């Protein structure tokens, strides 16, 4: 079983729509959680960290559910520029970051 699993999508949504997707992780000892964004095989860039109480950054909301071992990302009022692959990243221990394969989001005009 993969340490981090994501629905690959693609999620194809119109501008202004809300899109949400999850990521599950297998190790209950996981400590830190992140969402990264990757454009067209370029380098990944941090979108946001995910905190236990959930957190928002503008149109983006991240949630963590430790009991069910998943994190989620919700994008409100989608923009064309939100089209990208979103990587779920989990830190298990000692510098070991585990990456999901990514969820592709395409926002259409």
Partner 1 sequence: EAQVTQNPRYLITVTGKKLTVTCSQNMNHEYMSWYRQDPGLGLRQIYYSMNVEVTDKGDVPEGYKVSRKEKRNFPLILESPSPNQTSLYFCASGFRENTEAFFGQGTRLTVV
Query: Can you tell me which of 4, 73, 84, 90 binds partner 1, judged by CB under 8 A?
Result: 4
Structure tokens, 78: 């989608």
Comparison of 11 and 86: residue with beta carbon closer to partner 1: 86
Residue 107 corresponds to which tokens in the numbers above?
């926002």
> Who's near 22: CB < 8 A, 6+ residues apart?
6, 7, 70, 71, 72
Determine which residue in the list 41, 58, 67, 68 makes contact with partner 1, applying CB under 8 A.
Answer: 41
31 binds partner 1 (CB under 8 A): yes
- Length reported for the chain: 109
Residue 9 interacts with partner 1 (CB under 8 A)? no
Q: Which of 15, 16, 39, 45 binds partner 1 (CB under 8 A)?
A: 45
Site for partner 1 in 71-90 (CB under 8 A): 87
What are the beta bridge partners of residue 68? none
């Amino acid at each position: 079983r993969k340490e981090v699993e994501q629905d690959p999508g693609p999620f194809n949504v119109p501008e202004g729509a809300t899109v949400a997707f999850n990521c599950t992780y297998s190790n209950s000892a996981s400590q830190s959680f992140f969402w990264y964004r990757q454009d067209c095989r370029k380098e990944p860039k941090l979108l946001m960290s995910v905190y236990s109480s959930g957190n928002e950054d503008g149109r983006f909301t991240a949630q963590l559910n430790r009991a069910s071992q998943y994190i989620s990302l919700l994008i409100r009022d989608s923009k064309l520029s939100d089209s990208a692959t979103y990587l779920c990243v989990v830190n298990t221990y000692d510098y070991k970051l585990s990456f999901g394969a990514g969820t592709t989001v395409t926002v259409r005009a």
